[in-house]
Amino acid sequence: MRSKIKEADEMLVNAPVKLKVVDNTLNRRQTGRRKADVEKVFDTPHFIKQLNFEQRRAQRSGVPLSIMLLTHDLANAENSNVRTLLKKVQAKIRETDILGYVDQHTLGVLLPYTSEEGARKSLKKIMDAFEETPLRIAVATYPDHIFESLAKNGSVPPELFEILLDDSIDYSEIRFKVKRAIDVIGSIVLMLALSPVMIVTAMLVKYSSPGPVIFTQTRLGRKGAPITFYKFRSMRMDTNDQIHRDYVQELIKGNHSAINNGDAVKPIYKIKSDPRITKVGKVIRKTSIDELPQLFNVLKGDMSLVGPRPPLAYEAEKYQPWHLRRILEMKPGITGLWQVEGRSRTGFDDAVRLDLKYIQTWSLALDLKILLKTVKEVLHSSGAF
C-alpha cells in the first residue's frame, strides 16, 4: 500500500503542466546554486494547481507542507527590479520548492515536506539576500487559513493578509508574566469591588428558578485544553442545548440570513427570544453580570481578563482549520477585541479575524484599551459578551 501511495504521489507531482513563460531573461547561472529557470516560475493558475496537488499529498500522507508569501511593490517598477527579486528568491530556495505568482504583487513559495520551523529557516535565507527588505512576509503551515483561501478562491483577500498572515510577533516571557500579574491583581480587585453586585445577583438567581446559582460548563482553553467555565445561571434547568447547537452551526457556516434578527444594514446575530432564559437571566445577560464568576477562572489561571472567548467543544468541531488558531496561541479571556468591536453585529469569520488580530498585535497597552472599551460597552448595555 505504501508503495502505491508513493507511486501515486510521484505521478501527481511529476504530471506534465504547461507553463506560461513569465520572464525569459532569467536563464542565467546563480552564484553558488543553480540556474534561475523560468519553467520553475508558475503563473497564478498553475501555481494554485500545484498547491492543490501538494495539499492532497499532505492530507493523505500526513507530511508537513508550508508556504511563504512574499508581497512586493514592484508591479509598476522596471522589469529589471522584478527580475532581480525573482533571481534572489530562486537562488535561495530548494530544487523541490515550487515558486509562482499568487497575484501581480505576491510571489508564493510552496515548501513540501517542510514544517513551520523549516519554513522560517528558508525565509531567513531569502531575507539575508536583501540589504533592505522590500517585501511583506507571510509564513504558514498546512492546514491554515492561507491554504483555505488559496484553494477556494485562488487568491488571498487583502484584509486576510493584513490581519492573519504576519506571524512575526515574538511574545516575550516577561510580557506574559506581567499580563498574568495584571490578571491576578485585576481579578482580586474586581471581585472585591463587585462583591455586593455578585451577592445580590446570587440571591436573585437562587429565588428566580430552581437550580444552582453558578452554572458550570466545560470549554476549551489555550491549546484546546478543557477548562471548567463559570457563569451565573441565566437559564432554567429543564432545557437542552439544541437551540444553541443549531444556531452555532448556521453561524459558523456563514448562513447569516437564517440567524439575523436585525436587518441587512444592522445585522444582529444572536438567538432571539430564547425560551430557556429566565426573567432574571435576561437582565444579567444584558448587563453582562452573568460573566462575573469568570473572575475566578482568571484567578485560577484558566483564563485572562482579555483574550479570545473560550468555545464549546461542539463549536470547535465545526471550525475550519484556520479558525482553530483562536484557541491555540493565547489564553481565553472574559473580554476581547471581538467583544468591543464586533459583538453580535459580526459574522463568525470576521469575529475570528478580530481574535487573530488581537493575538498577533497583542500588547499590554492593547489589553488596557480593550478593558476601558469593555466598561463603556457594559455601561451602554449593548449586548452580552
Same domain membership, residue 179 and residue 70: no
Residue pair 234/284 in contact by the 8 Å Cβ criterion: yes
**Is 123 in the same domain as 190?**
no
Quote the pLDDT of residue 30: 36
Going by pLDDT thresholds of 50, 70 and 90, the confidence category of residue 8 is very low
**Across residues 347-359, what is the average pLDDT?**
84
Instruction: Judge if 212 and 105 occupy the same domain.
Output: no
Do 133 and 200 lie in one domain? The reply is no
Do 214 and 352 share a structural domain?
yes
Check residues 170 and 203 and name the one with the higher pLDDT: 203
Q: Are residues 32 and 128 in the same domain?
A: yes
Q: Say how many residues make up the chain.
A: 385
Rounded mean pLDDT of 6-26? Answer: 39
What type of residue is 343? R
Q: For the residues 141-147, what does the mean pLDDT come to?
A: 77
Per-residue confidence (pLDDT) for residue 167, from 0 to 100: 46
Domain membership flag for residue 270: yes
Domain stop point among 110, 142, 164: 164
Clarify whether residues 157 and 16 are in a common domain: yes
Among 107, 141, 164, the domain boundary falls at 164
DSSP label at residue 222: G
385 within some domain: no
Residue 292 C-alpha from the chain's centroid: 26
Same domain, residue pair 226 and 274: yes
The model's confidence at residue 373, banded by pLDDT at 50, 70 and 90, is very high
Provide the CATH number for the domain around residue 31.
3.30.70.270
Question: Which pLDDT score is estimated for 71?
Answer: 78
Per the domain annotation, does 247 fall within a domain? yes
Question: What pLDDT does residue 284 have?
Answer: 94
Instruction: Check whether residue 139 and residue 202 sit in a common domain.
Output: no
Q: 10 Å Cβ neighbour count for 315? A: 21
Same domain (yes/no): 80, 217: no
Total structural domains within the chain? 2
For residues 196 and 293, state if they share a domain: yes
Query: In the prediction, which pLDDT does 361 show?
Result: 82
pLDDT of residue 203: 96
- Element spanning 68, H or E: strand 65-71
Q: What pLDDT, on a 0 to 100 scale, did the predictor assign at position 141?
A: 84
Residues 156 and 292 in one domain: no
Tell me which residue range forms the domain holding 35. Answer: 2-164
Residue 168: φ, ψ to 5°: -85, -5
Among 38-42, 59-63, 315-319, the minimum mean pLDDT is found in 38-42
Residue 206 has pLDDT above 80, yes or no: yes
